[in-house]
Amino acid sequence: MLPTQLDLVLKRLIYFGAPKAFVVAILLLTWQSFFDLSQSAEYQVLEYYAGVGRIARLSACTGYRAAAFDVVFDKPEVTEAWPGSPTTKALALAMALQGQVNECISFWGICCSSWIHMNCGTSGRNHLSPMGCESYPSVQCANMLVSRSMLLIFLCVCLGGTPVVENPGSSMIWMHERFQWLLGVLEGMKIRMFKTRFWMCHFNSPTMKRTILWSPGSAIAALKAFATMRRADFRFDKKTARKYRTRAGKVAYQGTEALKGTQVYTPKFAGFVVRMIPHFNDPKRKQKLPVLPNVPLRYYRFDVGY
């Protein structure tokens, strides 16, 4: 990334109301002697919460410059949840800054365990209180996780890239305050956020797994072809949850070991995502970022604090 390109990204972040602390974090990182954006690689595909990094690996095999990020790649530095250490936070931010300007596709399979319907009894999340019972450490970590992820996604948008957010169909992650903030900011930028639902079983998933995607790239509409499913066409031997009754006689559910297996994308789905990359970057389909006032960066001010 050239210095002029970094200035433009910072202008967009400030002009559209990014938190001051986030902009300062970017500046502090770019000022470090070990991190030279002008000499670093520019990635065309980024995969966050990568697990085994299937999308990034397949993208690299196809000829794209790709990188993957997950806490399992940095276990010695991780405490409870990402971002658990200064090293991890800096690495996540550095990877986003190394996305190729106007061409980077970033895929975000954000950890969903605290946001799905099955966990509502523990997290206390509902449509009236989507932030849940914030006195629980697990809920606090999940909220922080989504908040910081949304800031990085906003950075990817300001780079001219196309982020894609993936979560289970029952997830309430879109109700998070920072997610709603991001939707409002994109609306102010005249950028439309598309949403599509589909069944992951069409891509050889071991379970049905109703899935939802959000992205400013209209190419995700191709997944509408997999929005319907007949149970008779698929056979599922593994159960992802078991039903039981508590001591008070209330019906409850608990996830099984098979539930963890649904976190990893199948090779068929990863291949479908990689084939969509040219459509995400198609100039005829890509939404344009607004033109900013032509004034030096030092004249931009933080009018909105969040």
Summarize the confidence of residues 175-194 as an average pLDDT. 94
Which pLDDT belongs to residue 246?
Answer: 76
Which band of pLDDT confidence, cut at 50, 70 and 90, is reported for residue 77? very low
Which is more confident, 206 or 99? 99
Summarize the confidence of residues 288-301 as an average pLDDT. 78
Which pLDDT belongs to residue 231?
Answer: 66
Summarize the confidence of residues 80-108 as an average pLDDT. 77
Q: Which of 19-28, 49-58, 74-83 has the lowest mean pLDDT?
A: 74-83
Give dist(CA 182, CA 187) in Å, integer.
Answer: 9
Which band of pLDDT confidence, cut at 50, 70 and 90, is reported for residue 76? very low
Q: Which two tokens stand for residue 239?
A: 């159960």
Summarize the confidence of residues 89-94 as an average pLDDT. 85
- The HSE-up count of residue 58 (CA atoms within 13 Å, CB side) is 19
State pLDDT tens for residues 28-50. Answer: 888 887 777 777 778 999 999 98
Q: Where are the domains of the chain?
A: 3-231+267-299
SS3 212: strand
SS3 92: helix
Which pLDDT belongs to residue 83?
Answer: 43
Which pLDDT belongs to residue 123?
Answer: 87
Q: Which two tokens stand for residue 34?
A: 């070990």
Determine the Cα angle at 145 with ends 224 and 182, to 5°.
60
Q: What is the torsion angle, in degrees rounded to the nearest 10, for the CA atoms of residue 242, residue 243, residue 244 and residue 248?
A: 130
Which band of pLDDT confidence, cut at 50, 70 and 90, is reported for residue 163? very high
Which band of pLDDT confidence, cut at 50, 70 and 90, is reported for residue 305? very low
Distances (CA, A) of 178 to 95, 182, 270: 21, 6, 28
Summarize the confidence of residues 166-194 as an average pLDDT. 93
Summarize the confidence of residues 57-67 as an average pLDDT. 93
